[in-house]
Amino acid sequence: MNEQISAASLYDRVARVIPKAEWMGFQDDVEAILELKRKRNAVILAHNYQTPEIFHGVADIVGDSLALARKAMEVEADVIVLAGVHFMAETAKLLNPEKTVLIPDMAAGCSLADSITPEDIALLRKAYPGVPVVTYVNTSAAVKAASDICCTSGNARQVVESLGVPRVLMLPDEYLAKNVAKETNVELIAWRGHCEVHELFTADDIRELRESHPGVIVLAHPECPPEVVDAADFSGSTAVMSDYVGRERPARVVLLTECSMSDNVAVHHPDVEFIRPCNLCPHMKRITLGNIRTALEENRHEVTVDPAIAGAARRAVERMLQI
Ligand code: 13P
Ligand code: SF4
């Protein structure tokens, strides 16, 4: 193995957030995964909520949902392992129909994706004839296929405004829709889906944080309730939050989002103090080094999209990526 990318030499990257003893337990899987990637001509795409041993240890491409979708289009490997949740793997498959796309645990779902079905969209289209449907990428391929265009938390406003209409159905995240509605003149009709991680943050949490950690800068993900975003100093997708920390270098910061995010960003910013109230996403946490290794060893679990809906779902994603 090339010494430069051995598991032992990778430890320096994560020493701030993973104790040495814990890393020793990861080393065998990291070495095996690096070797399997070479053998299978595979790449690992990892979302910002993956644990640091995955994010900094074995991933080739990292980012928010938008970046992962964009970069999935440029992948040249034969195999893509999606270290994230099922809708992300489906999006990668839609954009790479010829490649093998694997997810290490098929049960890695999402409360937002589970909150809406294509039948719900059909009913909404009847209730709001002619109103275009924008769906968050946190949805199944079948729901994407029933929509006009997708969006992520990183481009939602641009997508909504690109349609040039006064009214849009923005589904399924109620809070994302309400947060975007504050920034645009387009009327947004929302659904009642919520992210089970971000809906737990409250404006009281922020008040308490400001009292206990004077001067703390509060960044909130737009899946948080609107009153939380209002009480924060800044709001943006996971990539936008990470860029904010790099650009503004706050002395003290709290990221109101999934727990691994602070660990992954802290690796790059030893001068920033990260305050850590956070919530775990049980779906993201289903992905481990162990099941990434098994995915590559046993070629599982392969993600496929029903050909009857793949074309329409791909069009909705590609339309978003053109903006
Ligand atoms: P972004 O990375 O696009 O901000 O999405 C957050 C999220 O909850 C993905 O599951
Ligand atoms: Fe879904 Fe929320 Fe988990 Fe993201 S953090 S995968 S939106 S449940």
Give the Å distance between the CA of 16 and the centre of ligand 1.
Answer: 24
Token output for 9: 């030499």
Give nearest CA residue, ligand 1 atom 7: 65
CA distance 43 to 23: 22
Under 8 Å between Cβ of 312 and 303: no
pLDDT of residue 200: 98
Q: How many residues does the chain have?
A: 323
Angle formed at CA 86 by CA 83 and CA 92, multiple of 5 degrees: 70
Atom in ligand 1 nearest the alpha carbon of residue 66: 3
pLDDT of residue 3: 43
Q: What confidence tens digit (pLDDT) does each residue in 83-116 have?
A: 999 999 999 999 999 999 999 999 999 999 999 9
Pinpoint the alpha helices (H) of the chain: 7-14, 20-40, 52-55, 65-72, 86-95, 118-127, 141-145, 156-162, 174-181, 203-212, 226-231, 238-248, 259-266, 289-298, 307-321
Give the Å distance between the CA of 73 and the centre of ligand 1.
Answer: 18
Under 8 Å between Cβ of 256 and 209: no
Give nearest CA residue, ligand 2 atom 7: 195
CA 24 remoteness from chain centre:
28
Q: Tell me the best of 86, 237, 280 to mutate to test the pocket of ligand 1, counting ligand atoms within 8 Å of each CB and taking the most.
A: 237
Rounded average pLDDT per 10-residue block, the chain, 323 residues: 64 92 96 97 98 97 93 93 98 95 98 98 98 98 98 96 98 98 98 98 98 98 98 96 97 97 95 94 98 98 98 97 94
pLDDT of residue 249: 97
Give nearest CA residue, ligand 2 atom 2: 195
Token output for 203: 């404006």
pTM exceeding the 0.85 threshold for the entire prediction: yes
Under 8 Å between Cβ of 61 and 92: no
